[in-house]
């Protein structure tokens, strides 16, 4: 079985390296010379172009930064891969894209599975838009990449559940950030407030990221994805909700905040730094005390 990764950024390279470490021969492709050089150092054979990928791959895994990039790569590869090939798409995209891609590639006898990931090897989770058995002979590859695999039954369900995960994650973060912003405004002791909230409210998941900002954990802040990535996920989630006729006031508040921040100078900064602007969003009048 010939396995190729397209997209050798942080996540793609980590996944490909996990297979190399398991003794599996892996090829890769990326337009970035830096990514190519890094991949070669990790033992990944770098291919020259899409035609090379199509001619040398039974299984292609893609890990790409944007929906437009995923769409272009998947559709271009789908037109060139041989019948029976499998495309496992690990980015965060929309359920509608998954259904479209699966239908188009099926016309040529190529299988497509939406399989977004979170975490990094060896602690990766995969959300699979299909039932057990959907990977066929490629199932052992998935076993090497993820410690937790959820089979969600239908094409597009992997993306859908990933977007819901992101919604819950960032909503928790925003609530925790609002609480600590209020505490700071009121002159409360921030370290003691963080400890009190952590021990008594069950707010830890969102609080952990917000407290990095308020406790000035520079390394912790820098480890998070940029605002632009969160905005992209929120846009995808909003489209998914609109397509389903679903309205959520809490999601609307989350979307308003992150999309407004993304439109400004913070778009490329780690998302906890969005708290820089939170007071302007929430403190609309002077204190009445």
Which of 155, 178, 203 lies at the terminal end of a domain, its last residue?
155
Do 171 and 121 share a domain, yes or no? Answer: no
For residue 142, how many other CB atoms are within 10 A of its CB?
18
Specify whether the CB–CB gap between 77 and 144 falls below 8 A: no
Structure tokens at 51: 């035609």
**Which of these three, 139, 155, 171, is where a domain ends?**
155
Residue 58 in domain: yes
Q: Rounded to whole angstroms, how far apart are CA atoms 68 and 74?
A: 10
| Three-state secondary structure call for residue 110 | coil
For residue 270, the 8-state DSSP code is: B
**Residue showing tokens 């952590």:** 198
| Size of the chain in residues | 289
Residues 85 and 192 in one domain: no
Nearest-angstrom CA–CA distance, 253 and 182: 17
CATH number of the domain enclosing 95: 3.40.50.720
Q: Which residues of the chain have pLDDT under 70?
A: 201-205, 286-289
My answer on whether 15 and 147 are in the same domain is yes
* pLDDT (0 to 100) of residue 129: 98
Q: Residue 289: inside a domain, yes or no?
A: no
Whether 287 is in a domain gets the answer: no
Crossing angle of the two packed helices 204-214 and 157-185, in degrees rounded to 10: 50
Q: Are residues 117 and 170 in the same domain?
A: no
Q: How many CB atoms lie within 10 A of CB 173?
A: 25
Domain that holds residue 68: 3-155
198: domain CATH number is 1.10.1040.10
288 domain-assigned: no
* Same-domain pairing of 263 and 180: yes
> pLDDT at position 185, please?
87
Q: What is the H or E stretch that residue 52 is in?
A: helix 50-55
Q: Are residues 11 and 149 in the same domain?
A: yes
Regarding whether 27 and 132 lie in a shared domain, the answer is yes
* CB-neighbour burial class of residue 287 (10 A; exposed 0-12, middle 13-18, buried 19+): exposed
Domain boundary at 155, 189, 214, which? 155
d(CA 221, CA 233): 19
**pLDDT of 284:** 75
- DSSP, collapsed to helix, strand or coil, labels residue 45 as strand
pLDDT value for 201 = 54
pLDDT for position 39:
95
pLDDT of residue 289: 55
Query: For residue 262, what pLDDT is reported?
Result: 97
Q: Tell me, yes or no, whether 16 and 117 share the same domain.
A: yes
> Are 151 and 164 part of one and the same domain?
no
Are 170 and 234 spatial neighbours (Cβ–Cβ below 8 Å)? yes
Whether residue 189 sits in one domain with residue 137? no
Beta bridge partners of 118: 125
Q: What are phi and psi of 182, to 5 degrees?
A: -65, -40
The total number of structural domains in the chain stands at 2
Distances (CA, A) of 206 to 3, 203, 252, 275: 37, 6, 18, 13
Asked if residue 115 and residue 214 are part of one domain, the reply reads no
Contact 181, 275 (CB under 8 A): yes
For tokens 């891609």, what's the residue?
Answer: 101
Is residue 117, in this structure, part of any structural domain at all?
A: yes
The pLDDT value recorded for residue 283 is 80
Residues 150 and 268 in one domain: no
């Amino acid at each position: 079985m010939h396995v190729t990764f397209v997209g050798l950024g942080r996540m793609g390279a980590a996944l490909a390296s996990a297979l190399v470490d398991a003794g599996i021969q892996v090829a890769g492709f990326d337009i970035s010379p830096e990514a190519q050089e890094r991949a070669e150092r990790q033992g990944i054979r770098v291919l020259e172009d899409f035609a090379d990928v199509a001619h040398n791959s039974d299984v292609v895994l893609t890990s790409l930064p944007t929906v437009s990039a995923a769409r272009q790569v998947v559709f271009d590869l789908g037109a060139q891969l041989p019948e029976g090939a499998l495309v496992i798409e690990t980015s965060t995209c929309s359920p509608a894209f998954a259904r479209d891609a699966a239908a188009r590639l099926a016309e040529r006898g190529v299988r497509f599975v939406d399989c977004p990931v979170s975490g990094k090897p060896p602690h990766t989770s995969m959300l699979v838009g299909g039932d057990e058995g959907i990977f066929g002979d490629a199932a052992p590859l998935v076993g090497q990449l993820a410690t937790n695999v959820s089979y969600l039954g239908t094409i597009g369900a992997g993306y859908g559940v990933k977007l819901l995960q992101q919604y819950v994650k960032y909503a928790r973060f925003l609530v925790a950030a609002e609480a600590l912003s209020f505490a700071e405004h009121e002159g409360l002791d921030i370290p003691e407030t963080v400890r009190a909230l952590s021990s008594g409210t069950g707010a830890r998941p969102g609080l952990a990221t917000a407290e990095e900002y308020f406790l000035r954990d520079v390394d912790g802040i820098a480890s998070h994805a940029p605002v632009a990535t969160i905005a992209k996920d929120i846009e995808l989630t909003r489209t998914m909700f609109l397509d389903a006729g679903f309205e959520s006031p809490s999601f609307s508040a989350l979307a308003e905040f992150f999309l407004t921040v993304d439109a400004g100078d913070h778009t490329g900064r780690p998302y906890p730094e969005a708290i820089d602007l939170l007071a302007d969003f929430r403190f609309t009048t002077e204190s009445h005390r």
